[in-house]
Amino acid sequence: MCYRVYMVMEMKRPFESVIREHGQTVLRVCRVALGLHDAEDAWSETFLAAMRAYPDLAGDANIEAWLVTIAHRKAIDIVRSQRHHVGVVDELPEQTSAIEVSVTADQELWDAVKSLPTKQRQAVAYHYVAGLPYLDVAEILGGTADAARRAAADGIKTLRTTYLDEYGRGAH
Q: List pLDDT tens digits, range 25-75.
A: 999 989 888 887 788 999 999 999 999 999 999 989 999 999 999 999 998
120-148 pLDDT, tens digit each: 999 998 898 888 999 999 998 899 999 99
Stronger pLDDT, 59 or 104, i.e. the higher one: 59
Q: Write down all domains in the chain, each with its CATH number in brackets.
A: 15-166 (1.20.140)
pLDDT at residue 152 tops 70? yes
pLDDT at residue 1 tops 90? no
pLDDT of residue 99: 44
**Distances in whole angstroms, Cα of residue 95 to Cα of each of 38, 40, 105, 130, 138:** 12, 11, 12, 24, 34
Q: Which of 32-36, 94-98, 114-118 has the lowest mean pLDDT?
A: 94-98
10-28 burial, b if ≥16 CB within 10 A, otherwise e?
eeeeeeeebbeebbebbbb
Stronger pLDDT, 77 or 102, i.e. the higher one: 77
